[in-house]
Amino acid sequence: MKRTMALWLVGLLAASGLILAQSAVGQQPTAGGVLTFAAGSDPDSLDPQNTQSNPGEQVNRMMYDNLVRFNAKMQIEPALAQSWTQSPDGLTWTFKLRKGVRFHDGSPFDAKAVKYFFDRVLGDEKPFKASLYTPFVQGAQVLDDNTVRVTLKQPFAAFLFRLAHSAGAIVSPAAHQKWGKDFALHPVGTGPFKFVEWIKGDRVVVERSDAYWGGRPLLDRVVVKTVKEDSARVLMLESGDADLIINITPEDIPRLRKDPRFVIESIPTARALFITINVKKKPFDDVRVRRALNHAVNREAIVKSIYQGNAEVIPGIVAPLQNGYAKLSGYAYDSKKAKELLAQAGVPALKVKLWSPKGRYVKDFELAQAVQQDLAAVGIEATLSTMEWGAYLSATKTPAEQTDRELFLLGWSPSTGEAHWGTFPLLHSSQQAPKGDNRGFFASKALDDAMDKAGTATSDKARLAALREAQQIVINDASHVFLISPNMIVGASKKVHAVVNLPLELTYLTEKSWKEK
C-alpha cells in the first residue's frame, strides 16, 4: 500500500516538475550533437590521482565519478556512494555504494574498486595526490559487494571534502592493472563520458557512455580543445568554432555581452588573492604595520575599476565559497588610520619591495599596481617588480635566511573546496616554506590550535566553529594584506545548456548538458 502510494506521489511530482520546467524554460533538452569546449591549457594527466592542474581535472570530471561530489553551492552530495555513516569517535566511515554501476571497460564498480583506490593512494606507488589522504587514512575494508569501511588514523572533519576532490575519482582497477604507468593515456572510469582520444597539446575527445548510472548523456561527444591565446579563444567562440570557452579577459566581456548569440557568466570562485607578508622581516613583524597595510588598500575601488565588478572583496584569507567561510568584518579602507598605525610603529615613511606575477591570476599585475598606489598614498614607497611564474614560485619558497622578499602577491584556491585547506597550508606554523606553502613564515600558537581543532572535529558544528575562530585570528593578526576573490568568466553559445561551473574554477559537462540543434 505504502509502495503504490509512494509511486503515485513520485509520478505526480515528476509530472508536475516536467510541466513546471516546460513552462519556465519553454525548451526541451534535445539529445545529440558535439560540443566543442576551448580551454586554455592541455591537461597534464588523465589519471586523477596524478592530475595536478585544472585542465586535467575538468576532463576527469567528465570521465570519472567520486564517492561523493560537490553541488553548485559547494555542498557535499552522494555520487557513487549512496549513503554513509560515521562512528561516534570519528575514526570509521562506512559507505553504502550504488548498485549496478559499471566502468567503461565493462568491469563492475563495487567495494573492491573502492578498496583498490585507497590501497593505491596509501601504497608504494605514491601518486602525486596521495598526500591528500595519507596523513589521516589508515585503510579500507570490503564488508560486502556494496559496502566499504574506511578507517582513519585520527578524526578528520573534512574527510568527505577530500573524497569530493578531483583526486578522489575512482578508476577501474582492471584498467589500472593492465596499463600501469600508461593508465593516464587510457583512462577508464564510471563517468557520463568515456575516453576516445588525446592528441597532446591539441585536444581531448570523449563520447557518451550510454550505460551511465545517472542516465544516458544528452550530448554525443565533447571535444576539449587547447587554445592558449586568450584572444584566439574568444575569436573561436565568435566564429562558432567553439561552443563554450573559459577564462575570458574582462576587456572582452562588454563586447560579448552585447552579442545576442552568447551568454557570458561571471561566477564567484573559491579562490582568494592576497599579498603575503614576510613576517620575519622588520618592520613586518609588528602587527601595527601589517594592519596599516590592510587599512591602506581601497578594495572596493579595485573591484570596480580593475575587475569591472567581476570580483568580491573578502575580509580574510578565506573566500565566501569555501565551505566553512565565516562572514567576519575585514579591514576598512582608512588611510588616516593606516598613517596613524605606521607612526605608532615608528615607521611613518617606509620603503618596501612588492612582487607580483604577471598573467598567472586574473589581472594580478594590475592589482599589484593598484596596491602600490594605495600604499604610496599613506607614505609607503613600494617598488613593484615581476618575474616569470616558474622563477616566482621558486623565489617565494626559499627559507627565511635565504630571502629578501617582503610583500608578494599570490592566490590560493583550496581544491577540496573547504576552509581548512584554505588556511592550514598557508598559515600553520608547521607549513613554513620551504617545507610547505606558508611563504610568509607566519606562526601563531592560537591559530595552530584552532586549525588542529578544526581538523579533528567530529561534528560539523565543531568544525565550523573552530574554522570561524581561526579566521578571526588570521584577520586580527593581519598575516597578509587581504584583497579579493576573482570571479571565473565563462562564455557559451546560447544553444548550450546545463554546463557545470564549479567555484573551484572547473567547468565541465555532465549527462544533463545539452546543445540545441
Partner 1 sequence: MVTYIVRRLILLLPVLLGVSLVSFGLLQLVPGDPALILAGEEATEEVLARIRHEYGLNQPLPVQFLAYLRHAVTGDLGISIQSRQPVAVLLGQRFPFTLKLAFLAIVVSATLGVVAGVIAATRRNSTLDLAALLGSLVGISLPIFWLGLLAILVFAVKLRWLPAGGTGTLAHLILPALVLGAASSAVIARTTRASMLEVLRQDYVRTARAKGVDERLVIYRHALKNAMIPILTVFGLEFGYNLGGAVLTETVFSLPGVGRLIVEGIFARDYPVVQGALLLVATTFVLVNLLTDVAYAFFDPRIRYD
Among 329, 390, 445, 517, binds partner 1 (CB under 8 A): 390
> What is the C-alpha to C-alpha distance for residues 304 and 4, in angstroms, rounded to an integer?
57
Contacts with partner 1 in 30-89 (CB under 8 A)?
44-45, 50, 52-53
Q: How far is the CB of 491 from partner 1 (least distance, A)?
A: 14
Smallest distance, Å, CB 262 to partner 1? 13
State yes or no: residue 393 binds partner 1 (CB under 8 A): yes
- The one-letter amino acid code at 356 reads S
CB 222 within 8 A of CB 474: no
Q: Considering beta carbons, is residue 98 or 420 the nearer one to partner 1?
A: 420
d(C-alpha 53, C-alpha 80), whole Å: 23
Residue 77 to residue 436: CA distance in whole angstroms: 31
Between 184 and 306, CB nearer to partner 1: 184
Q: Please, which residues bridge with residue 206 across strands?
A: 195, 222
- Report if residue 123 touches partner 1, rule: CB under 8 A: no
Contact status: 181 vs partner 1 (CB under 8 A): yes
Burial class (CB in 10 A: 0-12, 13-18, 19+), 42: buried
User: If we measure between CA atoms, which residue out of 30, 499, 40, 36 comes closest to residue 240?
Assistant: 36
Mark residue 162 as left, alpha or beta (left: phi above 0; alpha: psi -120 to 50; beta: remaining): alpha
Q: Is 436 in the site for partner 1 (CB under 8 A)?
A: yes
CA pair distance 259, 261, nearest whole angstrom = 5
Contact call for residue 395 and partner 1 (CB under 8 A): yes
- What phi and psi, each to the nearest 5 degrees, are found at residue 189? -135, -160
Rounded Cα distance between 368 and 484, Å, is 12
Residue 19 C-beta: closest distance to partner 1, Å: 40
Question: Residue 517's CB: how many other CB atoms inside 10 A?
Answer: 6
d(CA 103, CA 213): 10
Neighbours of 222 (CB within 10 A): 27
Instruction: Kindly determine how many residues on this chain lie close enough to bind partner 1 according to the rule CB under 8 A.
Output: 47
Give the nearest distance from C-beta 227 to partner 1 in angstroms.
Answer: 4
The gap from C-alpha 301 to its chain's centroid, in whole angstroms, comes to 26
261 binds partner 1 (CB under 8 A): no
CA-derived radius of gyration, the chain = 24
Q: Which is nearer to partner 1, 57 or 374 (CB)?
A: 57
Binding test (CB under 8 A) with partner 1, winner from 131, 154, 177, 385: 131
In whole angstroms, how close is the CB of 223 to partner 1 at the nearest point?
Answer: 9
Angle between helices 335-344 and 287-296 (to 10 degrees): 160
User: Is 388 one of the binding residues for partner 1 (CB under 8 A)?
Assistant: yes
Residue 366 engages partner 1 in binding (rule: CB under 8 A): no
Q: Pick the closer one to partner 1 by CB: 242 or 509.
A: 242
Applying CB under 8 A, which of residues 252, 437, 505, 511 lies at the interface with partner 1? 437
Q: Tell the smallest beta-carbon distance from residue 359 to partner 1 (Å).
A: 11
Pick the closer one to partner 1 by CB: 229 or 460: 229
Assess 128 for contact with partner 1 (CB under 8 A). yes
Handedness of CA 478, 480, 481, 485 (dihedral sign): negative
Q: What distance in Å separates the CA atoms of residue 183 and residue 154, rounded to the nearest whole number?
A: 32
* Stretch binding partner 1 (CB under 8 A), from 5-13, 106-114, 151-159, 387-395: 387-395
Of 293-301, 302-310, 392-400, 475-483, which part binds partner 1 (CB under 8 A)?
Answer: 392-400
Told to check if 412 binds partner 1 by CB under 8 A, we report yes
**Residue 184 interacts with partner 1 (CB under 8 A): yes or no:** yes
- Supply the angle between the helices 460-477 and 445-456 in degrees, to the nearest 10: 160
Question: Grid coordinates in use for 459?
Answer: 561534528
Q: Residues 413 to 432: which contact partner 1 by CB under 8 A? A: 415, 425
Segment 188 to 247, residues that bind partner 1, using CB under 8 A: 199-203, 225-229, 231-232, 235-236, 238-242
Question: In the set 22, 394, 430, 459, which binds partner 1 (CB under 8 A)?
Answer: 394
When asked if residue 304 is in the footprint of partner 1 (CB under 8 A), the reply is: no
Contact present, 171 and 188 (Cβ < 8 Å): yes
> For 171, which DSSP code?
P
Cβ of residue 367: shortest distance to partner 1, in angstroms? 17
Chain residues that interact with partner 1, rule: CB under 8 A: 44-45, 50, 52-53, 126, 128, 131, 181, 184-185, 199-203, 225-229, 231-232, 235-236, 238-242, 388-391, 393-395, 397, 410-412, 415, 425, 434-437
